[in-house]
Amino acid sequence: MSTPAADPLGARPDDPLSRERSHLASSRSALRAMREDVESLDIKDVTANWVNAEVLSRQIDDRIKALADLSDTPLFFGRLNYLHAPGAEQAEGASKGPARSASGKGGGRRAGEQFYIGRRHVHDADGDPMVIDWRAPVSQPFYRASKKDPLDVSLRRRFGYTGGDLTAYEDEHLMDPAEAAATSKLLQQEIERPRVGPMRDIVATIQPEQDEIVRSGLGGTVCVQGGPGTGKTAVGLHRVAYLLYAHRERLARTGTLVIGPNKSFLHYIEQVLPALGELTVRQGTVDDLVAHVEVRGTDEAPAAVIKGDARMAEVLRRAIYSHVTIPTEPVMVVRGSRRWRVPAYELEAIVRELLDRDIRYGAAREALPQRIAHVVLVQMERSGEAPDDRVQDAVARNAAVKAAVKAMWPPVEPAKLVLRLLSDADFLAAHAEGILDEDEQKTILWAKAVRSVKAAKWSAPDAVLIDEATDLVQRTHSLGHVVLDEAQDLSPMQYRAVGRRCTTGSATVLGDLAQGTTPWATRSWDEALAHLGKSDGVIEELTAGFRVPTDVITYASRLLPHIAPGLTPVASVRENPGFFDLRSVADTAEVVAACEELLRNEGSTGLIAADARIPALAEALTSAGIGYIDPGEETTVETRLTLVPASLAKGLEYDYVVLDEPQAVVDGEPDERTGLRRLYVALTRAVSGLIVTHAAPLPSQLA
């Protein structure tokens, strides 16, 4: 890497670093000019009414925000020199002219084109690009080109920044056989950078195997199995940003959603997309998606497992359609002096036809009056009348028709239906017969019958059942793309809930089978994809670890044969070995001392412990005068210690971790395998160093 002591004013044109700095300075001015252009727009004359004006001015505000020059986020982080000018298919936006080139401006195919790669597109006063968006086709070789396959790139340059200053660069001459392959120092620096504050983007250092996932097409679903710290979350977020760039209009119409396991995790990741200029992506938990009722109760594991089983979907379907009654009486419609009779066999034919069709219960119910009216209309025509559409509508609204529809196909309220299934043993038995055995039915039945939807103490799995029932009645709106993180913890019914939110779109499913800590955790990704309704999804594996140092991941991987046999252990790409220490301690004071020791380092520290031990540790920290925050809260200069219950550790990371009492973490779970998986999660949160403290013997699987 070159780090010449350069003049910050860029006064030496012969020095490459000076030249790059001056390109940075001119790009910044160009960005400022772009922002000023937007700021000076006067919309008074172009908008016909205040609604348009409102919409336009909001769009302008968003655009100004997107064009902000953030002092701590470099405007570009890389440069590519192409041997030839890239073809039109690669040019950004395809319709625009070629990028600014080392050999001058203008069209045509020229040698030696060079492009700066950054977070957003910046162009000069003539509209020629000065910085190309990392998501543009022409930027792709920055992530993919290799000595083996240079993709027409002769030089790849990576830039290093200190604060907002461009201070270093690193070159790879991809077509020079004599140049030795070396791992990027800037990548190493980036992964070693202390982790203070929320998660940040990785645009400057996305790795080739990650980039393949990031840029895979909108049409397909991708499922990524990856051990701790392999970048699954990062990849999922960058994929949304990429898809929004490549399919902006379509996704603006259909919407995108990122699903994470809990609020503190979502808080941790919420800055990444805005930093990439994407402000419109919704983020939530599965529970948020299915919030039809207030959740005030919990289920014992056995009940939750059955309620989350995909067989429940069939029970619900049967229960809903049990409301349909095949008619045995005709309908008599009186209009003026005439009576029209729709015989029972014709009504039956209509009902059976609607049952056979792949439409929702509610949609069929809405279609029924018109179908009956149509029969009446045909009779009218046969008898010489000439009724029009208005007559058909009037017949459909006729009281006799309405009453018949109510009897044949009554409205169903999803929450009430689930309430009845869980309270009424006979009703459940009638619809679960041959699906759930008697014991299973008993397990999910409430101990006491509940009278109303409001009074019920709904659990999270109940809310998912209500969501399934709701979808049987009325089709759920589908989004264009859904990213599902920590997917391994979802039940089949939860996968279905997510799946119906992307029936017409696609999904990115991210997870690690070894980190599944729910009693219904995913056993195989094929099964998960089937429940999601995306059996054709492609499963990819990531095994290079960017978070956990080698010694720590090697130690944690001892658990793998016990928690997920067959999974490939993560191989750390960190050069810094970090440190790892196992300490036998006498009391919590020594745990606190370990935290104090780690807090002497730069960056964040997490104290992770079994949930049951959190109050005692909180007290010990407080009496030692050490401030701490909860997971999801932002670290500050004064408070860099987070006290993390093991149940909330998933997906988070800290520069340094003290892991308190591994056996207690294992014992905190209902069974040993889940306990060991929880321990695996807790052991894999550290970026630079881990101290494991224990008074009790360590779990034998770690021996």
Ligand X SMILES: Nc1ncnc2c1ncn2[C@@H]1O[C@H](COP(=O)(O)OP(=O)(O)OP(=O)(O)O)[C@@H](O)[C@H]1O
Binding marks (x or -) toward ligand X, 633..662, rule CB under 6 A?
------------------x-x---------
Site residues (CB under 6 A) for ligand X, limited to 208-247? 210, 226, 228-234
Q: Is 226 annotated as a binding residue?
A: yes
Task: Give Cα separations from 177 to 174, 354, 499 (angstroms).
Answer: 8, 69, 49
Q: Report the chain's C-alpha Rg in angstroms.
A: 31
CB of residue 522 vs ligand X: minimum separation in angstroms?
14
CB of residue 287 vs ligand X: minimum separation in angstroms?
19
Taking the least distance from each CB to ligand X, the nearer of 210 and 522 is 210
Residue-wise burial string across 663-678, b where 16 or more C-beta atoms lie within 10 A, e elsewhere: bbbbebbeeebbbbbb
Q: Is 328 annotated as a binding residue?
A: no
The Cα 4–Cα 454 span in angstroms is: 70
CB of residue 542 vs ligand X: minimum separation in angstroms?
7
Taking the least distance from each CB to ligand X, the nearer of 8 and 197 is 197
Choose, by CB under 6 A, the member of 91, 191, 415, 514 that binds ligand X: 191
Taking the least distance from each CB to ligand X, the nearer of 70 and 94 is 70
CB of residue 479 vs ligand X: minimum separation in angstroms?
22
Angle, vertex CA 431, rays to CA 429 and CA 436, nearest 5: 65
Taking the least distance from each CB to ligand X, the nearer of 470 and 515 is 515
CB of residue 483 vs ligand X: minimum separation in angstroms?
11
* Cβ atoms < 10 Å from Cβ of 303: 20
Taking the least distance from each CB to ligand X, the nearer of 231 and 369 is 231
Site residues (CB under 6 A) for ligand X, limited to 171-190? 190
Q: Is 256 annotated as a binding residue?
A: no
CB of residue 199 vs ligand X: minimum separation in angstroms?
6
CB of residue 654 vs ligand X: minimum separation in angstroms?
10
Site residues (CB under 6 A) for ligand X, limited to 541-560? 546-547
The single residue listed with the structure tokens 């597109």 is 121
Taking the least distance from each CB to ligand X, the nearer of 210 and 470 is 210
Are 372 and 347 in contact by the 8 Å Cβ rule? The answer is yes
Percent helix / strand / coil, the chain, rounded to 5: 45, 15, 40
Q: Is 78 annotated as a binding residue?
A: no
CB of residue 230 vs ligand X: minimum separation in angstroms?
4
Site residues (CB under 6 A) for ligand X, limited to 476-535? 512, 515
Site residues (CB under 6 A) for ligand X, limited to 673-692? 684
The Cα 482–Cα 360 span in angstroms is: 23
The Cα 102–Cα 112 span in angstroms is: 6
Are 568 and 227 in contact by the 8 Å Cβ rule? The answer is yes
Taking the least distance from each CB to ligand X, the nearer of 481 and 677 is 677
Taking the least distance from each CB to ligand X, the nearer of 456 and 484 is 484
Beta partners for residue 642, in sequence order: 606, 629
Stretch that binds ligand X, among 206-214, 303-311, 371-379, 460-468 (CB under 6 A): 206-214
Beta partners for residue 180, in sequence order: none
Strands (E), 344-422: none
- Secondary structure of 30-85 in HEC code, one letter for each residue: HHHHHHHHHHCCCCCCCCCCHHHHHHHHHHHHHHHHHCCCCCCCCCEEEEEEECEC
Q: Is 231 annotated as a binding residue?
A: yes
* Cβ atoms < 10 Å from Cβ of 620: 19
Question: Interface residues with ligand X (CB under 6 A)?
Answer: 190-191, 202, 205-207, 210, 226, 228-234, 512, 515, 546-547, 651, 653, 684
Binding annotation for ATP? 226-233
Binding annotation? 226-233
